[in-house]
Structure 1
Amino acid sequence: MATIQQLVGRWCLVESKGFDEYMKEVGVGLALRKMGAIAKPDCIITSDGKNLTIKTETALKTTQFSCLLGENFEETTADGRKTQVSPNL
């Protein structure tokens, strides 16, 4: 089982498969899908032991959210959609 500390650090996307199909399925328009296809985001994960902060950086945009494991919250995705998130390990 993973722990929060095992996730802490900088993670770099190396390869992505099926992302365009996923974005199309959830209703992302062509222009944003094209940008998403070329984006190679870095994900920086930090924690104070209880709260988890995830910052995603691309050349076009940086997003960040913090959460408490086990507590649901609403997040606005990079393309503006509202989603319910349930963070658990």
Structure 2
Amino acid sequence: MPIQTDIVGKWNFVSSEGFDEYLKEVGVGWAVRTIATKTKPTLEFTVKGDDWTMNSNSTFKNYTIKWQLGTACDEKTADGRDVSSVFSIENDRLVQVETGKGGGKDSRIERYIENGKLVIVCVCNGVKCTRVYEKAT
């Protein structure tokens, strides 16, 4: 099934690799990185027509982003950066390209389903982070 239907629903955090290094590369300070790397968020995706929503809920912070494919949207990321994001679908992956504002760094985030799990790969200047979630029951 396509990513538009596979991603819909709630996802529980399973694991993370390279998250602190990625956050450091995109310019997130030590205090926020320390908290963020200990956080195990639950993600929830909804798709209604052209409107997509992702909610990230954790004990640290709740965060929501809404978008339409191919349309730039300005956002303040959960870690406090100001970016402009454009979402697209490439090879059955939900791709988010973040363009940093005010000297901020650019980043690429790919979300896809592999073996029933949601895999999120974040890359900034060659620094890569992989986070894995499983569907909530």
TM-score by length of 2: 0.61
CA distance in 2 between partners of 1:55 and 1:25 (Å): 24
Where do 4+ consecutive residues of structure 1 move more than 6 Å? Answer: none
Q: 1:38 to 1:88 in 2, by over 3 A?
A: same
Task: Tell me the secondary structure at the aligned position of residue 6 of structure 2.
Answer: helix
Unaligned ranges ≥5, structure 1 = none
Letter in 2 for 1:17: E
CA distance in 2 between partners of 1:22 and 1:70 (Å): 25
TM-score by length of 1: 0.91
Please tell me the root mean square deviation across aligned C-alpha atoms, in Å.
Answer: 1.4
- More strand as a share of residues: 2
**Could you report, residue by residue, the CA deviation over 1:23-52 in whole angstroms, capped at 9, with x for unpaired residues?**
111221111111011101111001112110
Match of 2:2 in 1: 2
Q: What is the aligned residue count?
A: 89
CA distance in 1 between partners of 2:66 and 2:24 (Å): 27
5 Å-filtered alignment, 1:1-89, equals 2-89=2-89
